[in-house]
Amino acid sequence: MSFTKRNKIKQSLKDGKTVVGTMVVEMRTAEIARMLGASGFDFIFVDLEHSSYGLETFTDIVLAAKSVGLVCLARIGDPQYHLIARTLDAGAQGLMIPRVETEETVTNILKFAKYPPWGERGFGVRSIVSNYENMPVSDRMVEQNEDTMIILQIERKKAVEDIEKLVSVKGVDAAIIGPQDLSISLGHPGDHHHPKLMEAVKRVVDACEKCGVASGLHTANMEDLLFWARRGMRMLTFSSDSALLQSAASHAVGEIRTAIGGTTKQ
């Protein structure tokens, strides 16, 4: 089988299935991708917005992810051409773009991320994408245009108000709620159960369903994630690499200390 795999989660979402992933934001080792793939995740987002990662580290993680069939996506910091094109050239199978608010921004994202005739992205396919396979340029352009995912991160009140316009742009594959920033934008920082936030999230889910786009949520709260999964969300992003490790470690240490009758660190 060719090393250059089709984007499995993009196809799964098109087929109406649900996919599960997490965010990689702290671990500066490619092994984190192999570990998360072995744990059963369908995809990871590598956070290039808030983390200290450079593209060299990102490329290492992409290679490790591909070795175990894990789809590797990236969250970039801003919808600028050099960030979009370079991250895709570094092997990202899709991008999540934060703070999207306008239809014009979405159109520009698609223009920067897709090759002609769909967009205006410059052609510079590297070996991490091609694995040195010979393929006509025209075929490679079609393959990449079809497989690259574009995911809008909905974090602002204005984005919610215009959500149907945003997700109806051809080429948008998913919209994921960033609950922390959205709660701040709505005037209720950190209150993920405030009626205004719940109403806003439902509005996004409904608009996505109407336009044939997957909706999703990134949260470390399992109860919240499952609540919205039961209401139609299909791109479920749970927690992060460091939070998952800390949670498992805390649970293990707690069990041990309870069993031996100790409650404090020596």
The per-residue DSSP string of 86-127 comes to HHHHTT-SEEEETT---HHHHHHHHHHHS-TTT--PPP---H
- Helix/strand/coil for 63: helix
pLDDT band at 180 (very low <50, low <70, confident <90, very high): very high
Tokens of 127: 């070996």
Least confident of 132-146, 155-169, 219-233: 132-146
| 200 occurs within a structural domain | yes
213: region left, alpha or beta (phi > 0 left; psi from -120 to 50 alpha): beta
| 260 occurs within a structural domain | no
Separation CA 239–CA 221 (nearest Å) = 8
| 100 occurs within a structural domain | yes
CATH number of residue 213's parent domain:
3.20.20.60
The single-letter DSSP state of residue 218 is E
- Helix/strand/coil for 57: helix
Closest by CA position to 150, among listed 204, 199, 198, 105:
105
Half-sphere exposure of 221 (CA within 13 A, CB side): 12
Predicted confidence (pLDDT) at residue 249 exceeds the cutoff of 70: yes
Separation CA 16–CA 19 (nearest Å) = 10
Q: Which residues pair with 218 in a beta bridge?
A: 237
Predicted confidence (pLDDT) at residue 258 exceeds the cutoff of 60: yes
Predicted confidence (pLDDT) at residue 266 exceeds the cutoff of 80: no
Query: What domain count does the chain have?
Result: 1
Tokens of 87: 């991250």
Omega before 189 within 30 of 0, i.e. cis: no
What are the residues whose beta carbons fall under 8 Å from the beta carbon of 52, sequence distance 6 or more?
A: 28
Structural domain boundaries, residue 216: 8-241
**Across 184-189, average pLDDT:** 97
Separation CA 242–CA 23 (nearest Å) = 9
Residue 128: predicted pLDDT: 87
| 258 occurs within a structural domain | no
Max Cα–Cα distance, the chain, nearest Å: 68
pLDDT band at 5 (very low <50, low <70, confident <90, very high): low
Predicted confidence (pLDDT) at residue 126 exceeds the cutoff of 90: no
Residue 264: predicted pLDDT: 61
Residue 12: predicted pLDDT: 96
pLDDT band at 7 (very low <50, low <70, confident <90, very high): very high
